[in-house]
Structure formats: C-alpha cells, structure tokens
Structure 1
Amino acid sequence: MNFSTQAWKDIGNIYDAILIMPFLQELATGSLNKEVFQHYIIQDAIYLGEFSRVLAIIAAKAPRPEIQLQFADMAREAIAVERSLHEDFFSEFGIAAEFALATEPSPTCLGYTNFLTAVAYRHNFAVIVAAVLPCFWIYSEVGKHIYQKATANNPYQKWLDTYVDEDFEASVKYTIDVCDRAAKDAAAVDLKLMKQVFYRASQYEWLFWDSSYRLERWQIGNKKSKK
C-alpha cells in the first residue's frame, strides 16, 4: 500500500466528520450565514498568503528541477488566488478591503500556518509535502462532494465553482504522486514524520472550517475593527 492510500485511510474519521460539518452543509444549501462566510474567506486569504510561502520553501528543497518548477508555480497560483479573493470575492460579499487587510489571523489560522511553516523550515522535502497534501486533497474531495449537493441559485455558487477547477484537480493529483514517490525513498524516521504531519494537517482542516463557523476570534486583547 502506498503512502497516500494509507494516510487517507488513517484520516477516515476526520474526513467523515468534515463532511457533516454545519459550515459545509449550509454552504451547499446556500443557507450559510453571510457573516460566517465573510469571516471564512478573510481567514482563507490570510492562510493562502502564508501557504504560498510554504510552497516556495518546498520548491527550494525539491530534489529535481521539474518538481521545483511545479511547486514554484503552485506558490504563484496561491498568491493569485489570494489576490482574487481581495479583488472579487471581498467585493461581491460586502467586505471592505481595508477591513480585510486589518484583520488578524484567527487562533486556528495562525496555528495552522505556523505549523506548516515550522515543518517547512525544520524538515526535508518529503515531510513538507506530506504536511501540505491534506490542504490540497481534502479541499478537493470535500469540494466535489458539496458541489454535487449544492442547491440551485446558491448565493455562494461562484465560490463553489472554485472547488471543481480542473487545474486545481491536476495539482492535487500531482502532489499525491510526488508525495508517494518521496515516501518510497524516505528513511523510516522520515516516513513516521510524514504520517504524523499529514494527520495533524488534516485535523487543522477540520478546525479551520469549525473556527470559521464559530466566528473564532482572540478572546483577550482583541483589536476591534469596523467593516
């Protein structure tokens, strides 16, 4: 059994829990509270900014030029998506750009991005790829699931369409393949780390949607901003 098959099997309970989350159920039906969605896409934009940096580190540590180029392109695409959120979705869903730019990462967003950054700086290529894979893979699988369930005239249809982008699907498959090939050559200690970071990142994927639904903010010392 290759790494990705076993890793996905290990997070089966997490993935099943994600599919029934109120955030995603209500997103599919179009009944998700607008304030919750606003909170989510702001935090997602913050996350993508940091995620692009992690992808750039992966590119720098890539074992071959073609892999380096691919992950460099992914880093560029993450930045492009972040800009798209600011230019398109923020306007469409009534979010002032200055408000979004002044918003701090939520505790969960900060925890997730700090985790990925720490893995990127501390570990080798194989371990880092395993850490970012859940972001690609879970997002893709969940996206296809809720897209099929989405109601007609969904106010979030434009956002749902991003879940089934063909280029993104190709990036997911590529990252899975790279991770599996890296795992075959990994030392036992690194393979153990790959499993650990894949599982932890999957937990953070659940936490990210959950924290958005709860409108998670810092409970002490939080600066107030106006939309």
Structure 2
Amino acid sequence: MKTTERMLAATTDLWQAYYDHPFVLGIQNGDLDHEKFRFYTIQDYLYLLDYAKVFAIGMSKADDPDVMHVFAQYIAQIMDCEMNIHEGYMGTFGISREALRQAQPALACRSYTSYMLACAQAGGPVEALTAILACAVSYEHIAREMVRRKPDCLHDAFYGAWVTGYASERYAQENVTLCELVDRLTADYTEAQTQKLIDIFRTCARYEKGFWDMAWKMEQ
C-alpha cells in the first residue's frame, strides 16, 4: 500500500464519525443553526491562516524546486480561493475584517493548528504535508458523502456553496496532487518513518473530529 492509502486505512473509524456528526448532517440537510455555522466560519477562517503557514514552513524546508512550487501554489489557493468560500459567508453574516482581526481562536482550533505548526517546524516538507492532509482529504470525503446521501444539498440556498466547493472536481484534483507528492517523497521510507507519518495523520484526523465538536457546541 502507498503511504497515503495506509494513512486513510488507519483512520477508517473516524470517517464515519465525520459523516454522522450533527454539525455535518446539519449542513447536509440544510437545517444547521446559522449561529453555529457563523461561529464555525470564523474559527475555520482563523484555522486556514495557520494552515497556510504550515505550507509556508514546508516550502521553506524544501530543496526541490518542483516541491516548492506545489507548496507555493497551495498557499495561493488557500488565500485566494478557499478563503473566498468563507468570505462569502462573512458578508452574509455581516462580519467585518476588523472583527476577524480581533477574533480569537477557540481552544480546539488553537490546539489543532499548534500541533500542525509544530510538526512542520520539527520535520521537513513531508511532515508539513502530512499535517495538513487529514483536513484537505476529509473535507472532500465529507462533501461527497453529503452529495451521495442527499444530492439536492448542492442546491441548498444557504449551504450549497460550501458543499459545492468541497465536492468539486477541482478540489478533488488538488488532493490528488497532495497525495501523489506524499507518496513520491516517501517511496523509500522505512517502516518506522512511515509509521511516524501515520501517527501524525491520525492525530490530525482526531483534531478534525474535535473541530466539528467545537463548532457544534460553540466552545471557546
């Protein structure tokens, strides 16, 4: 099995927890309390700022120009595209840029991004990629599962834009690029090296579950 296949296999128990989470089901069914989503939107915005920094750390540690280029592309993608999904909802909720600058990450958000940043700082490009991969891949799987269960969720007046963004072929292809890069860079890894990456991936996957819990309970 490829490294990323082993990562996914090691987190099978967590995927179903994502799909059946009340927050995720609320988006899927279009009945999630908007105040919960507003809270999530702000926290995810703050999360993405650190997410982009993980890519930046990985780029700074890469020696291969092709690898550096991939990291640079994803930084731009996060800041210019994925943020757009959030900024659309920011406008709907009337959240100003000044309010975002003053917003503080919730404990679950801060803990998660601190772990990702620590992995990137302590390791190299592969550790940085692994630290962000659970989030990147899980959002694709969640959105596609939503569409499988309820195709009309793509057209929901409020949450359709969120589902469409993460269920898109473009987003899926971006994840293929990330996974292929991880698999290429780890082709000659020892079992011990690979297991370390699997541990990072699973820890981040657990943080993902905690992030959904935080959003549902609106926990600071």
Partner of 2:140 in structure 1?
140
2:122 match? 122
1:188 CA drift (Å) = 3.9
Aligned length: 217
Which structure 1 segments of 5+ residues have no match?
218-227
Q: Which residue of 2 aligns with 1:23?
A: 23
The aligned counterpart of 2:187 is: 184
Amino acid aligned to 2:73: D
Which residue number in structure 1 is paired with residue 198 of structure 2? 195
Runs of 4+ in structure 1 off by over 6 angstroms are none
1:27-55 Cα distance to aligned partner (Å, 9 max, x none)? 11110001100001101110111110111
* Residues 147 and 163 in structure 1, CA contact (< 8 A), matched pair in contact too: no
1:175 correspondence with 2:142:
no
State the alpha-carbon separation in 1 of the partners of residues 91 and 102 from structure 2.
Answer: 16
> What do the CA deviations read for 1:87-120 (whole angstroms, capped 9, x no partner)?
4220123434433332100001101110010001
Q: Percent identity?
A: 25
Alpha-carbon separation, structure 2, partners of 1:3 and 1:116: 19
Flag structure 2 segments of 5+ consecutive residues without an equivalent. Answer: none
Which residue does the alignment assign to 1:216? 219
C-alpha displacement at 1:20, in angstroms? 0.2
Say if 1:153 and 1:195 are closer, same or farther in 2 by CA, change over 3 A: closer
Letter in 2 for 1:105: P
Residues 41-60 of structure 1 mapped to structure 2, 5 A cutoff: 41-60=41-60
Q: Work out the CA distance in 2 between the residues paired with 1:8 and 1:159.
A: 23
Task: Name the structure 2 match of 1:161.
Answer: 164
Q: Which has the larger share of helix?
A: 2
Partner of 2:207: 204
Which deviates the most, 26-35 or 85-94?
85-94
In 1, are the aligned partners of 2:85 and 2:162 still within 8 Å (CA)?
no
**Superposition CA RMSD, Å:** 1.8
TM-score w.r.t. the length of structure 1 is 0.88
Conserved? CA contact 1:45–1:82, under 8 Å: no
Greater alpha carbon shift after TM alignment, 166-175 vs 34-43: 166-175
The CA deviation string for residues 182-226 of structure 1, in whole angstroms up to 9 with x for no partner, is: 222224442221011010011111111111010011xxxxxxxxx
